[in-house]
Structure 1
Amino acid sequence: MIEIPRCSVMTPELFNSRYKNKRPVILTATISDWLPVTTWKPEYLEWALSEEGAQVKVLVSHDNQHFINHPDVTELVAMPSRDFVSMVFRCSERDENENTKQRNYKRVYLRTLSMPDRLYRDVIVPKQVTDLAEKIYVEKPGRNLQIYDKPDCGIEQLVEESYSSVTQSVDEDPRSVRTTKYGSLVHQTEHYSVADSEDSDYDSMAESGISVYPFFRQATMQLWIGTRGNVTPLHYDRNHGLLAQIVGRKELLLFSPEDTSNLYPYPSYSNRSHTSRVNLRELETEGSRFPKLEDAQRYHCILQPGELLYMPPFWWHDVTSLDDCVSITLPWDLDTSDPIPASMLM
């Protein structure tokens, strides 16, 4: 088993030559000071989700462990956001159940299909955007980053201008509360906090050019909030992916696309063709059913809060939440010049 490397210093040249489309890597000093990492406590998440509506739709697993958006594995259940957040972070009852070997608490998983507005604002902070872009993004020759009606203005200036009139107002933001039923909260007062900005400021931000970086698009960015012990079984995605770990730890096993034939995917005509038939938690029995699994090279990591994992397209991955977790995925599509592994064309 190969441990996925961690990198504290990254440049676009290094990222593109060594990792993009080639192998996974963990960036350790990129998002550790992001607003989501430092301020997303349960009380704030509950408030932010309630801004989206009275209820959230969460996945409930048939076997109380495996989560993938498929009716054979899960069902979608609507519940009040307060109840959901309470279920995820209700540690005392769950710990008691685990200590007495009574694993009868219900596991749940929220996976949004786009980033909720309030939380998205905490991600697209100007400094955060440019810091990440400067590490992994290379402007293509001939591609014009100067958009809309300001041809002489770079994206950093556009982003900063959009927040020039933002004022602080934390009266209703739970991050201004120092003590709650969930414990102590961070009181966020940095000048670049965007959760309290007016809608006009937010719209200006969105229109100012953030979408020029494909991994910051709200429509494709996803939020994941779930209970300890949740498992996303072995599967692959057809896009580049950044997994930002915000709260808790996740353990991941990854496999190269070259090992696809050793991982026993569902047939191509199946609506689960991007998933594997192998359950990596039952290797004693699965080994005899799927003997080629032993030939597959595993890549492993435990992703810590404040770390960012890059996963190339078509890399298989299995994810286990070691704690109650909050994560963000920032995917972007393949370019026409990106290679598609031959093993995925069969």
Structure 2
Amino acid sequence: MFQRKLPDAVNFWLGEASAVTSMHKDHYENLYCVISGEKNFILLPPTDRPFIPYGMYQPAVYHQRDDGEFEVVDQSDSEKVPWIPLDPLDPDLDRFPQYRHAQPVRCSVKAGEMLFLPSLWFHHVQQSHGCIAVNFWYDMEYDIKYNYFQLLETLSGST
């Protein structure tokens, strides 16, 4: 799959333990390499889509006020975007009872290790303080795998 193919994007990540992602998926095959520290992933396969809640939310940005503090400002002129409101570290099963059927896989990637994260897999990422990582993104093939995922999205009532 990756032979003689340059990545579509390369990201350099440098951060502390407070840097955490929300649950999401990407349309890229991802090679994730940790140089220093550790990344902790919660992974869910695309087949778990029916158990993962989505909602439509107003985009927002951080804005620095004159006093130096940051505030969240809704971008009210923008269209709403799909987002997963679930915290996989502490899932609210009263609010999202379908998530109890999900099969999350936990994985730690340490310095010198690499994780292949397939496209369309849902993931949540935490890291240790002073973590340094690089990832290589390769656009997915829009083949039958993508069609199956689109079917799951439709059957799940995704927006």
TM-score of Structure 1 vs Structure 2, range by shorter chain: 0.7 to 0.9
CA change 1:292–1:225 in 2 (3 A) is: same
Q: Which residue identity lines up with residue 126 of structure 2 in the other structure?
A: T
Partner of 2:121: 315
Partner residue of 1:137? 2
Q: Would you identify which runs of 4 or more consecutive aligned residues in structure 1 move more than 6 Å? A: none
Any gaps of 5 or more consecutive residues in structure 2? 58-78, 155-159
TM-score, length-scaled by structure 2: 0.73
Deviations 1:220-266 (A, max 9, x none): 11111111232111100011111111110011000011111211023
1:342 aligns with one of 141, 144, 148: 148
**Counterpart Cα distance in 2 of 1:230 and 1:291:** 27
Higher strand proportion (structure 1 or 2): 2
The reply to whether residue 247 of structure 1 matches residue 15 of structure 2 is no
C-alpha distance in 2, partners of 1:332/1:304? 22
- Note the C-alpha offset of 1:276: 1.2
Percent of aligned pairs with the same residue? 22
For 1:329 and 1:338, the matched residues in 2 are separated by 25
Deviation at 1:295, TM superposition (A): 0.2
Moved more, 292-301 or 222-231: 222-231
Letter of the aligned partner of 1:322 in structure 2? S
The alignment's TM-score, normalised by the length of structure 1, stands at 0.35
Q: Is the 8 A contact 1:250 1:323 kept in 2?
A: no
CA contact (8 A) 1:264 1:276 kept: yes
Is 1:298 aligned to residue 104 of structure 2? yes
Deviation at 1:336, TM superposition (A): 4.5
Q: For residue 232 of structure 1, give the secondary structure of its aligned residue in structure 2.
A: coil
Change (3 A) 1:261 1:237: same
Q: CA RMSD in A?
A: 2.2
Structure-2 residue corresponding to 1:235: 24
Q: Which residue of 1 is the match for residue 65 of structure 2?
A: none
Q: Give 3-state SS (helix, strand or coil) of 2:146's partner.
A: coil
Counterparts of 2:144 and 2:33 in 1: how far apart (Å)?
Answer: 23
CA distance in 1, matches of 2:118, 2:144: 11
Give me the whole-angstrom Cα distance separating, in 1, the residues matched to 2:17 and 2:126: 8
Kept in 2, the 8 Å contact 1:222–1:328? The answer is yes
Aligned partner of 1:124 in structure 2 is: none
- Say which structure is richer in helix: 1
Structure 1 segment 1-346 matched on structure 2, within 5 A: 137-138=2-3, 212-215=4-7, 220-267=9-56, 270-271=80-81, 273=82, 275-283=83-91, 286-337=92-143, 339-340=145-146, 342-345=148-151, 346=154
Partner SS state of residue 214, structure 1: coil
Separation (CA, whole Å) in 1 of partners of 2:35 and 2:141: 28
Residue deviations 1:147-194 (CA, integer Å, cap 9, x gap): xxxxxxxxxxxxxxxxxxxxxxxxxxxxxxxxxxxxxxxxxxxxxxxx
Equivalents in 1 of 2:144, 2:12: separation in Å? 26
Task: Say if 1:236 and 1:317, in contact at 8 Å, map to a contact too.
Answer: yes
Which structure has the larger Rg over C-alpha atoms?
Answer: 1
